[in-house]
């Protein structure tokens, strides 16, 4: 105990007062900076933005009490020799400036350190200088809590000046990503989903910056920018390897579904917010007055079916099922029916 005290205390001042060593003061500050899973996500998003990212992909999931968040971006990247060092206190690439935003000061080199102090795992999974990064964080929700409702999306409206604002909704990870996307509109695009959804979206939306002739001399996709690898994976096996190398674990069956186009790419969180806001701005529909029965717009039906297909992945990964066709939606009177057709081979 005496040795531990010496490591933490620089000087005893008497009457129970002590002067802490710098390292101990930093550790305590870092533990205070992060109070929930949502804090981890916003600090990771701000870090990606400050690294110059134009696109950020957030894959998050929870198993038991463990919350895993994998964040991929197209920012400036981190040299391999600094992959561990970036989690040390006061390490930053922003020597000449700090960033002040709605969440406070950023750029003092404490964000990743604070995350590591509060997480079970915090690591750079892969990164390429000028080619983006992927960072994985695992937290224990029994130690670092989060909102119980992690599925609800917030509602949006307009402020007096006409700008979009969050009106209602739990302060969960979804809302955290939405608020960041609104704040960084036009500068940084954010996508949020499961590992499979994120892999499918990156594969669909990110184009290669290399010509076909350049790629002839590439022996290992791991040497290419992080996000471009998903597009260049030639088959399901290679896609699964690429995803795993970036911290996104999935079954080979799921990878096959991505390659076959059965897992649809997502819209950005900002696009989803704006799509959801459009019907509300036309005014509420009184279903009690409309005697013709329930009607669901085409765009809303497509979004709903996309959500249903994503939820079906829970069963497909556990019972080796795959969809034969896309889910079908039928509205009759005041009944909504969703049909999932499973491949006969299953």
Q: How confident is the model at residue 209 (pLDDT cuts 50, 70, 90)?
A: low
Look at residues 280, 170, 247 and name the one whose alpha carbon lies nearest to residue 178.
170
Question: How does residue 290 score in pLDDT terms, banded at 50, 70 and 90?
Answer: very low
Whole-number pLDDT of residue 111: 84
Flag whether 61 is in a domain: yes
The verdict on pTM exceeding 0.85 is no
Assess whether 230 and 308 both reside in one domain.
no
Q: Higher-confidence residue: 195 or 336?
A: 195
Are the CB atoms for 231 and 254 separated by under 8 Å?
Answer: no
Has residue 30 been placed in a domain?
A: yes
187 shares its domain with 128: yes
pLDDT value for 19: 66
**What is the distance between the alpha carbons of residues 319 and 315, in angstroms, rounded to a whole number?**
6
Q: What is the pLDDT of residues 169-185, one digit of tens each?
A: 999 999 999 999 999 99
Q: Is 280 a residue whose pLDDT tops 50? A: no
Widest distance between CA atoms in the chain:
81
Q: HSE on the CB side for 277, CA within 13 Å?
A: 18
Residue 218 pLDDT > 70, yes or no?
no
Residues 97 and 72 in one domain: yes
Whether residue 304 sits in one domain with residue 157: no
Q: Which pLDDT belongs to residue 254?
A: 94
Looking at the fold, whether 31 and 147 belong to one and the same domain comes out as yes
Mean pLDDT of the chain: 82
Question: Are 260 and 297 members of one domain?
Answer: no
Arithmetic mean of pLDDT, 49-53: 92
> Is residue 74 a part of any domain in this protein?
yes
Q: Count of domains in the chain?
A: 2
Residues 183 and 308 in one domain: no
In a domain, residue 1? The reply is: no
pLDDT tens column, 77-109 = 999 999 998 898 777 776 555 666 777 766 667
Residues 99 and 230 grouped into a single domain: yes
Q: Is residue 8 included in any domain, yes or no?
A: no
With residues binned 3-state (H G I as helix, E B as strand, rest as coil), the percentages for the chain, rounded to 5, are 40, 20, 40
- Out of 239, 256, 284, a domain closes at 284
Could you tell me the residue range of the domain that residue 54 belongs to? 23-209+218-284
Q: What are phi and psi of 13, to 5 degrees?
A: -100, 0
Burial classification of residue 285, based on how many CB atoms lie within 10 Å of its CB (0-12 exposed, 13-18 middle, 19 or more buried): exposed
**Same structural domain, 280 and 299:** no
Mean pLDDT of 268-273: 91
11 is a domain residue: no
Q: Are residues 278 and 301 in the same domain?
A: no
């Amino acid at each position: 105990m005496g040795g531990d005290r010496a490591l933490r205390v620089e000087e005893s001042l008497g009457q129970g007062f002590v002067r802490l060593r710098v390292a101990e003061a930093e550790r305590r500050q870092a533990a205070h900076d992060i109070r929930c899973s949502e804090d981890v996500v916003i600090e990771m998003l701000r870090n990606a933005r400050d690294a110059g990212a134009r696109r950020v992909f957030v894959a998050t999931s929870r198993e038991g009490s463990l919350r895993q968040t994998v964040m991929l971006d197209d920012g400036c990247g981190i040299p391999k020799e600094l992959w561990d060092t970036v989690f040390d206190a006061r390490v930053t690439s922003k020597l000449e400036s700090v960033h002040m935003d709605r969440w406070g000061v950023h750029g003092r080199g404490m964000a990743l350190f604070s995350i590591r102090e509060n997480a079970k795992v915090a690591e750079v999974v892969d990164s390429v200088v000028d080619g983006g990064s992927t960072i994985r964080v695992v937290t224990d929700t029994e130690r670092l809590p989060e909102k119980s409702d992690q599925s609800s999306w917030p509602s949006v409206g307009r402020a007096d000046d006409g700008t979009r604002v969050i009106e209602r909704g739990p302060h969960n990870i979804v809302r955290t990503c939405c608020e960041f996307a609104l704040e960084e509109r036009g500068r940084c695009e954010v996508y949020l989903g499961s590992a499979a959804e994120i892999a499918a979206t990156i594969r669909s939306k990110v184009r290669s910056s290399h010509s076909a002739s350049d790629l002839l001399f590439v022996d290992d996709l791991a040497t290419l920018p992080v996000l471009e690898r998903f597009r260049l994976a030639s088959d399901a096996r290679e896609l699964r390897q690429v995803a795993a190398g970036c911290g996104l674990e999935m079954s080979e069956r799921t990878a096959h579904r991505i390659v076959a186009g059965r897992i649809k790419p997502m819209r950005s969180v900002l696009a989803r917010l704006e799509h959801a806001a459009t019907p509300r701005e036309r005014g509420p529909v009184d279903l009690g007055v409309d005697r013709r029965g329930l009607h669901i717009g085409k765009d809303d039906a497509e979004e709903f079916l996309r959500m249903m297909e994503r939820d079906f992945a829970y069963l497909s990964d556990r019972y080796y099922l795959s969809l034969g066709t896309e889910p079908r939606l039928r509205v009759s009177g005041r009944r909504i029916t969703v049909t999932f057709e499973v491949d006969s081979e299953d």
